[in-house]
Chains A and B, each alone.
Chain A
Amino acid sequence: MPVNIIEKIEVKYLQIINEKGEADPNLIPSVSDDEITRFFETIILARAFNQRALSLQREGRIGTYASILGQEASQVGSALAFSVEDWLFPSFRESGVLVAKGYPMWMLYRYWAGDERGMKCPENLNIFPMSVPVGTHVPHATGAAWAMKLKGHRKAAGVYFGDGGSSKGDFHEGLNFAGVFKAPVVFLCQNNQWAISVPRSLQTAAKTIAQKAYAHGFEGIQVDGNDAAAVYKATKDAVEKAKNGGGPTLIECFTYRLDDHTTADDASRYRAKEEVEAWRAKEPLVRLRLYLEKKGKWTKEYEEGVTKKAQESVDAEIKKAEAYPPPDPADLIRYTYAELTPRQKKEMKESGWGS
């Protein structure tokens, strides 16, 4: 019997603007300069949010926080490609996604300071509360997308997780269902190379995470995750495809976590300074700055203005967060079920809390 090749896969890699700020002439027309300006300004805002979160943690004003430094293009570029009616399912390291979608920053600061009310998504957005258990929220996005399809709504779901999350069964089961039921969902792997101290090479023997999509019957693509334009285009295409009935897509954003895993971690214990510095040179803002400068759309004063505005906005949000009244202790019981159980009513009464 001859041995025949019955399936071949090809994994594409997309980069539009390289680290020197040079754009691919064939691809760049798909992203406008206004959009690139928006990426630039939104990344500055996300970075300002992130930087202040880190200082607030050091000052004891919020709890443990997971920094997004270095991953802003993957987060902002993808988030801006979704429409407001789409549903997003973030992990715990997605401040850039939330800030880009206009999630109130004061609520995020409240959340990181230990107040669940910060995850009560405003009615004008559809963002699920961030998932702390790694990768286990992937099937939720599949389910929501499947529901959109069953109800005939022209929408998509997007779900964010990391390279570590791609090792979970939940990731595979979520992708498998999405493939079988052709759910309009975009899987956004934020491959930041490190799951706390475990490198990407120990998560999977596969060359890419993107290729795992093919085992589930749909397309996967790896993009330069520090290139906001590439992430945006890949996500936009995937969202369009999903809404047009083309089913799911897996996008692997190839990026790097420049900071520690969280404020409770010390990354110098497990990775070399040289590696971090090499990636710092490739961080997302640098290339956008160079690109915009070449187009005559960047000056030092312009960036200073954007930065100042971002910092002022973050300061105002922190003020609002810290002035917000403490939560009602009864909240901890109140949201367990739609209605209080008789036992809960008793516990409320015994604790001296209103019903």
Chain B
Amino acid sequence: MGKLNIVGAINSALSEEMERDRDVIVIGEDVGRDGGVFRVTEGLLAKFGPERIIDTPLSELGIIGAAIGLAAYGMKPVAEIQFMGFLYAGLEQVFSHAVRIRSRSRGRFSVPMVIRTPYGIGIKPPELHSESSEALFCHMPGIKVVVPSTPYNAKGLLKSAIRDPDTVLFMEPSRLYRSIKADVPDGDYTVPLGRASIHQEGRDLTVVSWGTMLHRASEAAEGFDAEIIDLMTLKPFDEEAVLTSVKKTGRLVIVHEAPRIAGFGAEVAALVAEEAIEYLKAPVLRVAGLEAVVPMARLEDYYMPSLERIRKAYEKVMRY
């Protein structure tokens, strides 16, 4: 057991998985000598050599497209895309191929790869470095979408993602990379995909969140008897965990950083509307990013759900 931040936890997951399975390789821009722009792959080149920690041309489409072929042939590529906004260049490869090849070939071929990418506001960068576009991917059948929120679950979830037989998008909260240090077991353990975790138990109100926003939603819950669910996997998400909690509390607030319209919170809200509406004591509320282009540093605090906006939502549902 040692104290690690999320960067260290991911590094440790990669390193252990590469030791466990020689087909696991890391490809991406600057992942080798530079150790990645966030230093997530630091030290791996020295440990595993340039045949397994591979610096590629600056070409997101090429990285994902080649990873599809690598995976289909039997490698286990972990492709790093430097920022989520850069993944847009490779979207067609994900949407038109990676998620469809198992179905298109009726199971003869598959694409077991992991796309790792930092997401969200957090490091005051130029434009397109702070996107939170999970909903785009969750809409697409055939992919799994995972968002860790702590060093412990980052390591365990990434290991599960690497061992998963399908394409997994692994969204790393850039704001949390180095801000939380916690105990992470040395050696092998996994956190299963598709299961939520009860971050905090409570009776009056269910809060559903993930990634960066989980911590803010949690901080805002001070003074409320809130049950906080960390979804961790958005696709496929743990519907049972949400329904069980809402049936107990009768209130639901969903907090995410991405824009509200067609955001993943809408899916969670719709599930509750369809399957547990009779348990609700209050309207379901979403606290989300605004209907605007993700801003640069000066305006980001206005864009993201603030503690105040989240608290207001909690207060509002508690009035019922």
Contacts and interface: CB of A to CB of B under 8 A. Distances in A.
B105 A136 contact: no
B106 A139 contact: no
A115 to B, nearest CB: 10
B229 to A, nearest CB: 16
Given A138-B65, A140-B68, A150-B25, 10 more contacts: A119-B106, A128-B109, A140-B66, A142-B65, A143-B69, A144-B73, A332-B103, A336-B141, A337-B165, A338-B166
A151 B73 CA distance: 10
Interface of A: 87, 116-117, 119-121, 123, 128-129, 131, 133, 136-148, 150-151, 157, 169-170, 173-174, 176-177, 180-181, 331-332, 335-339, 341-343
Given A87-B73, A120-B107, A128-B105, A143 B97 contact: no
A143 B57 contact: no
Contact of A119 (B25, B71, B104, B141): B104
Interface in B212-257: 236, 239-240
B70 A143 contact: yes
17 contacts: A123-B108, A128-B109, A136-B65, A138-B65, A139-B66, A140-B66, A142-B69, A143-B70, A143-B71, A145-B69, A147-B73, A151-B75, A170-B61, A173-B61, A335-B102, A335-B103, A336-B141
B65 A174 contact: yes
A157 B66 CA distance: 12
Nearest to A145: B69
A40 to B, nearest CB: 31
**When A and B form their complex, which 7 residue pairs have the shortest distance between CB atoms, in order from nearest?**
A143-B69, A139-B65, A173-B62, A147-B73, A143-B66, A120-B106, A341-B236
Give the interface size class of chain B: 35 or more
B110 interface: yes
Interface in B127-185: 141-142, 144, 164-166
B51 interface: yes
B191 interface: no
B165 A338 contact: yes
Nearest to A123: B108
A133 B96 contact: yes
Of B70, B73, B97, B107, the most chain A CB neighbours within 10 A belong to: B73
B93 interface: yes
Given A120-B106, A140-B68, A142-B69, A342 B239 contact: yes
Contacts of A139: 61-62, 64-66, 68-69, 93
Contacts of A157: 69
A150 B73 CA distance: 11
Contacts of B64: 139
A331 B96 contact: no
Given A146-B69, A336-B141, A177 B239 contact: no
A144 B106 CA distance: 19
A279 B104 CA distance: 35
B72 A342 contact: no
Contact of B108 (A120, A133, A181): A120
A177 B105 contact: no
